[in-house]
Amino acid sequence: MSERAFDIEKRSFEIIDTEVGKHDYDEFQWTIVRRVVHATADFEFATSNGRIIFHPRAIESAFAAIKNKCSIVTDVDMVLAALNKKSIGDLGLKAACYISDGRLADEARKAGKTRSQMAMRQAAKEIDGGIVVIGNAPTALYELMRMIKEDGISPLLVVGIPVGFVSAAEAKEELVKKSTPFITNSGRKGGSPAASSIMNAIMLLYQRQYSSV
């Protein structure tokens, strides 16, 4: 990052801190939330409408997954593309998204499922013990929750922040009832910038916490 870009980011964070004011996030949580606000210019991710919600073990579990050189599975290519490739490489992680696999359209049609659902199924091995980042497709989040319940798949973190008017809010409401560590938000807001920002912030936090990596 250039010095000029660093100064702009630093000033942006100062503006966010000032405008949000007092909040109930801890230091690590706020680092993540602030980066989402920075990426989206949407303060509702930090306030009552659409605010980001953390499972009590979300960051701890994410750090454990990263320590184990986990895979990061995304629901769409846009989330995958926005992940920090340098952090992924430096940490020895892998990232995958199967939504564009040419076979999925036929498989989804035959199964009466969406491509997002089938992409989650195809990533089952990477999801187990890994991190899942969902920014667009509520059906991917529903399928993931089914896999956890019925197939015994155990991701160490679910970033479930799909956007939309149909099923997005409802899928998140179901996620917060689960014991699997999660980061989500309330309501319809979400999307690729928010989802990728959460994952990028987690990787940066890990690197700062364990600077010898």
Give catalytic residues, as residue numbers: 38
The length of the chain in residues reads: 213
Question: DSSP assignment of 33-87, as one string?
Answer: HHHHHHHH--GGGTSTTT-EEE-TTHHHHHHHHHHTT-EEEESSHHHHHHS-HHH
| Sign of the alpha-carbon torsion through 197, 201, 202, 204 | positive
Q: Measured at the alpha carbon of residue 8, what is the angle toward residues 7 and 10, in degrees to the nearest 5?
A: 65
